[in-house]
Structures are given as structure tokens and as C-alpha cells.
Structure 1
């Protein structure tokens, strides 16, 4: 059979035997399996090939045949918002992620973005700085495709029917376009699960199960509803600041055009473009989201309330992701109304929430929403998760996800699990790994010198104060605390 799948897929080379198979799984059975059987990330190969039929409903995904320039017809001359980050070299060691708060921002048309990425145009940030593509990457991310002005160009091209979700299309999908190096910090999505279709280019996913959270330094700063971030600086993390990373077993996969990745609920993931890349994803709702929605509302209320006692604007802006900063400016009354809206919104309509901004309201057909416009929108009339529906109440045939031969025959690949040391070798290459280790050692020596200097000067500066604020917010948003608060609220409601 050649190379084992773990080596083959981690290296990014393609095994065409997956994409050539015709024995694809029935969509209804995929849907049932995603919500019950599949506990680890898997990749579906060959399910989006134009013209291939796997059910009575055929979706073409013809956008797989577009080149990078063709995507410009979706945007025209409209300016798009890009996040710009610094490219890192192989021997760089990251003590923290490239947070959105530290990234540069720029607006440019899609055509100019392509010219800039090829080195043929200039790019100026919102603060007037000129950057070039050789030193920076750019990401147009988290864009809900329902906001496209030229949706007709994608009509019937985005259809998740082959995975058992025929009602999902462009209105339920999100677009990600970025250059090589563009990445999303490692995080957990507290709601739902995720299907990701790779349309163009290669994108590497590094995933960890929730059981390994203790090794990933979880934090709620920068705060964003329904996202818990890791303080680890992937893809080249510092083992001095995060020594417990060595105990992790990353799941690593490189997606190529036509691949679809399933990310189970609350799996950590860091995502990086290895080259110019276009992806489309959809978040799938779960019954457990109702519980998570209440917890997230409590976290938001606590973080917003805590910031009322912080005088420094620098501290407040450092606490929130830019898309969430409006929470810090809300009054106590507004925060309480927002909490009630998000917890009890099934019985409240927009008209009944007169005092809250439209950005914070849910329509009477929406069960919950993310304040930032991201993540999941759950229409009560179009439930996605598996239930007693007749089309998923029986097995069409036995699915043997643990059997390698069965997986290959049905175009399924379990994302391979590797040691952390193997991950470092994979990302850096064995020749560069030693240089990386030297950089880590150098960083340790520098850190020790800085620490001694701070201790000798008894430095009680902004960093110390912000560190205390961070500890407080993380403790208030700890799920053990949230579970206790929710339990008390539930008891009071039952006794009232």
C-alpha cells in the first residue's frame, strides 16, 4: 500500500486512491455518524468532485474549478477588510500567538489583494504603514457568504447535501481567503462542530482533543464569545514558556482542494495556510449548544461587568478582541438585558428588546447568535443535529471507522495523531530543528536575565497590573466557576 497514511498526509503529499474511489457513503449515514460515531477528526476525499453523484441530490461545487482571479467576480471593486501578520522564519520561536489585536489592518479590493500578494502592488494599513507581501501575510477571514453582493455567481455551487445537510448552502457558510502564512490562533469553539471544505491551495490543521486542554494554557483573553484561546504561539511554540506541550499528541493534516475536514465539538485547532488558500466552512449545531449558550452568556456578563471597574483604556482594549469591544462600553443595565436576551431569547422577540442595540439581538426565528456575527446561527425551523428524524433512524450499512481498508474504500481518512516532537520535526524539518532548539535555549537565557532585572527594580508596571487583570478574568470565566453560577441560578429559578 506504500507509505502509511500518517506520514503521507502529514507531509502534504496526496494519495490519489482516496479521490478516485466511487464507493462514497450515503449522506444520511454521514450525518448520523458525525453526531454519534465520529469522535476524532476525519477527512472526506473525493466527495466534492464536480459531477460525482453520491445521492439523489447532487451538488457540484464547481467553484473548485475556479482559479484565484475568478473569485474576484464575487466582490467586484468593493473594499475588503484584511488582517495582516508578520511572516516568521524557520528558526523563530513564538512566545505568544499573533493575536488579532496585534495584527495590522488594511482594506483593499480583491484584485488589488491579488496584485499585492504577487508583489505587484503596495498595501497601506489603517495606521498608514506600508507593508509588502514578502514580510507579511494577509487574511480575509470569518466572512459570512450570505453577505455577498454577487451571490448569483455561486448559485448551487455551495451545497453540503453530500454530508447529509441538503438545506445548507451559501447562506450557512463562511469564506476564508489568505496568503501563505495566514493563520488563526489555536482555540476551541464552544458551540457546535465544523465541516471545512478546502477549495484552493494547501492548509495545515493542528488539532488537540479537549482532554489535553491543561497542556495548552487556555485563556479568555482576548475575550471573544464562544472562543477559548490557547496562549501557545503556534506554529513554532516556545517550550520554555509552555513546557507541558511535550505531553500533547497533535492530530495533523494538510488539506488539499476537494478535501472536507470534520472537526468534532470542542477540539482545539490551529490553522495555517501553506500557500495561497481558499476555504469554505459551515458550523453544525448540537443539542449541547443550549447549555453552552447559557454559559457563554454568563461569561460575557462577568467580563463586561469587570471592565466597568478598570480605568485604563489600554487594559480594556487589550482584554477584548476588536469585534467584541462594544461589550466593554455597555452599562450594567444593558449587560443584564443582554444576558436575559441570550438566555431566554426563545420567549422574547426583537420588538420586546427595545433597549438593546440591534447588534445584540436575536430574531424570533433564531435560537442564539454570536455577538460578533461569527459561529452558529440556529434556525428553529431547520434543525441540523441528529434527532428522531426518519431518515437517520437506522443504519444503511455498517460503518467501520477504525478499519483502514474500509476508510480508503469510502474516501475517509482519520486524521493521524503524532507525538509533539514529531510535530516540531514536521513543521520545521529535521535540518532546521536543531536551530530552533538553539533559539529556544537563547530565549530562555534572555528571559532569565529580564526576570532578574525586573526583580531587582521591583518593577510594578503596566505588565504586572495587566497580568493581575488577566488572572482575574480567566478565573471568573473558568467553567468550574460558570457551572457553579449556573447551578445557583437554576436552583433559584426552580424555587421561584
Structure 2
């Protein structure tokens, strides 16, 4: 460590050393070394050795103890520098996301490639069974065009509501209006922040985006008109979570880019899923699906579930009132179609 007069350590001069010594406890034992558990074990003996040298050099600023302490200080500084710079700093302060869940064969959702309208109606819509559909959105222009950069180009100046926080049931969750560009810069590019763009009118506001998608043909099996179908955009970073909840309409969730881990529970298991008692969150479970408190929610373990990792180009049919939990595994953009 450089001294104010340009010298180094205790050898810098008796006057400076006297000032430093005046700041120290009288006895070596008074200079405690209280370190956090994150400090590696090899550091503490070095610091104890430096403390002993420090007090041994108290009366001899230019003695051998001072030289040894200077060398030991260089070792500690070099070690600290190496630990701080072996990787990007943001990787050190960032909390690593949970690993990608393993979907077991017995819980995996069935997958179908371009089923006929009749097959889908008879085997999934009428009996209300979830299924992953493949090949039905391959022709969408968005599958080749959409990216984070593309959204900046076509929608960067648009002001949209953004949900701030990992999930809407968290106490710190809030909403904020900002431009799409600001959202991308603050919450997509920044790995330490979590925000989610959940927009029900995005495609009406930006015709260029609406032209890149189309309503799935299977929606014609519903009772409503095409104008009654609600199209939603879901855009957010890795780690964003939709807590276990249910919706009052049928849902086609189309994955454009990124991956999502999704778990589904039948409405028949509602009592085992512990919905919130408040009217506002009555459609949302109190249970943290991937880390459940089985002491507080003992019957949750009885509920059977199906799951999948929804890949780009796949569409998940979520029957009305089916409970579903969603976690983004990457920067992700999805389009959902709510229909009756």
C-alpha cells in the first residue's frame, strides 16, 4: 500500500508510522479478524501473520518485520485481485438461476404434430386435456424475424406497462410505464434486474408485429367470434416466473423464442393447491411450485402434475381453469391466445 509521502509501508518514516500506530489497539489481541463465511480459509492465517508482524514492527519501522509485512501485503493484494478478476464482476454478484428442471417421462405432456381439427377437438378440447402442438406456427413470419434487436427497431419508442419483479405475488412487485427500448436496456440486457412486459394491446398498437402472427385454426372450434379472442404478448428475461394460477378461458401459448418450463395441474386438484383466500388472488396458488413448503401445505404433494419445456415453435394448449406454473429459462417471447 503506497504511503502519502510516496514511500511504502512502515519504512515510509517514523512520523507516519507513529500516526498509523496511534489508530491501532494497544494489544495485538485487540485487533480482531472477524471475517464472513465467504472468505476462503487460506486468507485468515495470512492475516494473523500480518497482524503479528504489524505489532512486532511497532517500535522498529525500518526493521525486518516491516519488510516481511510488506511482502505479505503484496501477496494478499495479488490474491484478492486475482479472485476479483478471474471472471466478469457481474457474474460474482448475480444470483445463479435454478437449473433447468428434468421432465420425467411419466409426467411429460403429450406432443402432436399438426393434428386435424377433429382429432384435436375429440381427444383434447372436449375432454379438456393439455397437449403440446408442433408444426402449427412454423409458417409465422415472426419465427424468422423476431429478436431483441428487432423489437428495438419496430417498437423501441412505444410506451408500454412493465411488471417489475420476479413474480406478481412478491411484495416488491410493481408496474411502471416505460418505452420498449428502456425496458430492454434495463431488464433484458441487465442480468441482475427482473422485469416483464405483459401487454394485452401490443399487437393493436404495433401493426408490424400483428402481421407476423396469426390466430391458430383450432380457435375456430370455440363458441366465440374471432374478435372475441384476446392476444397477449409476454416478453421477459431468464428467471421470470408466473406463479401457479388458472385462467377463465382456453389458452394457446405459442413460444416464439427462448424456452419456458411449464407445469400443469388439473382443476380437480384445486383443493390441494391452496389458492389464496383473497378475492384478488383467488385464482393463484400460495405454493412455491419448485420449492414447496410441505409443512405449511402438506396436501400439495398429493397433486398430480404434467410438465414440459416449451421450445421455440411449439404451442401449448392449456384448457380453461387448468392450473399452470411458468418459469422462463432464457430471454423469452411468447404469444398467448385466450378463447372460449
Bin for the TM-score computed over the shorter chain = 0.5 to 0.7
Contact 1:64/1:199 (8 A) holds in 2:
yes
Answering whether residue 133 of structure 2 is matched by residue 44 of structure 1, we say: yes
Answering whether residue 253 of structure 2 is matched by residue 196 of structure 1, we say: yes
Cα drift, residue 188 of structure 1: 1.8
* Shift in CA distance, 169/47, structure 1 to aligned 2, threshold 3 Å: farther
Write the distance in 1 (CA, Å) between the matches of 2:236 and 2:130.
23
* Shift in CA distance, 153/102, structure 1 to aligned 2, threshold 3 Å: closer
Cα drift, residue 180 of structure 1: 1.0
Answering whether residue 218 of structure 2 is matched by residue 113 of structure 1, we say: no
Answering whether residue 330 of structure 2 is matched by residue 275 of structure 1, we say: yes
Write the distance in 1 (CA, Å) between the matches of 2:115 and 2:108.
26
Cα drift, residue 140 of structure 1: 1.0
- Stretches of structure 2 that go unaligned for 5 or more consecutive residues are 1-101
1:346 alignment partner in structure 2: none
Contact 1:29/1:164 (8 A) holds in 2:
no
1:129 alignment partner in structure 2: none
1:137 alignment partner in structure 2: 194
2:283 to 219, 228, 239: 228
2:143 to 57, 64, 81: 64
Answering whether residue 266 of structure 2 is matched by residue 209 of structure 1, we say: yes
CA displacement 1:362-402 (0-9 Å, x = unmatched): xxxxxxxxxxxxxxxxxxxxxxxxxxxxxxxxxxxxxxxxx
1:240 to 295, 310, 317: 295
Write the distance in 2 (CA, Å) between the matches of 1:187 and 1:282.
16
Q: More helix per residue: 1 or 2?
A: 1
Contact 1:98/1:185 (8 A) holds in 2:
yes
Contact 1:30/1:164 (8 A) holds in 2:
no
Specify the structure having the higher radius of gyration (Cα): 2
2:206 alignment partner in structure 1: 150
1:55 alignment partner in structure 2: none
Alignment of 1:231-380 (within 5 A): 231-285=286-340
Write the distance in 2 (CA, Å) between the matches of 1:170 and 1:155.
18
Write the distance in 2 (CA, Å) between the matches of 1:217 and 1:157.
37
2:239 alignment partner in structure 1: 181
* Shift in CA distance, 70/206, structure 1 to aligned 2, threshold 3 Å: same
- Stretches of structure 1 that go unaligned for 5 or more consecutive residues are 51-60, 87-96, 120-132, 286-496
1:161 alignment partner in structure 2: 217
Contact 1:220/1:228 (8 A) holds in 2:
no
Contact 2:263/2:305 (8 A) holds in 1:
yes
Cα drift, residue 149 of structure 1: 2.2
Write the distance in 2 (CA, Å) between the matches of 1:101 and 1:6.
30
CA displacement 1:301-324 (0-9 Å, x = unmatched): xxxxxxxxxxxxxxxxxxxxxxxx
CA displacement 1:235-293 (0-9 Å, x = unmatched): 322222212222122211110111110111211111111111111111121xxxxxxxx
